[in-house]
Amino acid sequence: MYLTTEIKKGIFKKHGKSEKDTGNTEGQIALFSTRIDHLTNHLDANKKDFGTQKSLVALVSKRRGLLDYLRANDIERYRAIVKKLDLRK
């Protein structure tokens, strides 16, 4: 499995408040971004894996929803996470 417990804790520690704060919006966005990158690389090698493609679209939608929520409630945190993760917007 590409996302072990240690990797997830590292993501939440780096982008969230602590490694145990898994509900933090920034941490969830960072975790979704990691999963999206992994699935994108998988789909480059396996173009006909439509189940993974559907999962990727769902993850992108979830991340977009969290980013919209963060932009509506705290624009500074939104700008910081977008810059830190190097997202387009």
Q: Are 47 and 39 in contact (CB under 8 A)?
A: no
pTM over 0.85: yes
Which pLDDT value is given to residue 21? 87
Mean pLDDT, residues 51-80? 96
- Judged against a pLDDT cut of 60, whether residue 58 lies above it is answered with yes
- Judged against a pLDDT cut of 60, whether residue 89 lies above it is answered with no
Q: Tell me the pLDDT band of 88, cut-offs 50, 70 and 90.
A: confident
- Judged against a pLDDT cut of 80, whether residue 70 lies above it is answered with yes
Cα 70 to chain center, whole Å? 13
Using DSSP, state whether 41 is helix, strand or coil. Answer: helix
C-alpha 89/C-alpha 72 separation (Å) is 14
What domains are defined for the chain? Answer: 25-85 (1.10.287.10)
The pLDDT tens digits of the residues spanning 3-53 come to: 899 999 999 999 988 888 888 999 999 999 999 999 999 999 999 999 999
The contacts of residue 60 (CB under 8 Å, 6+ apart) are: 36
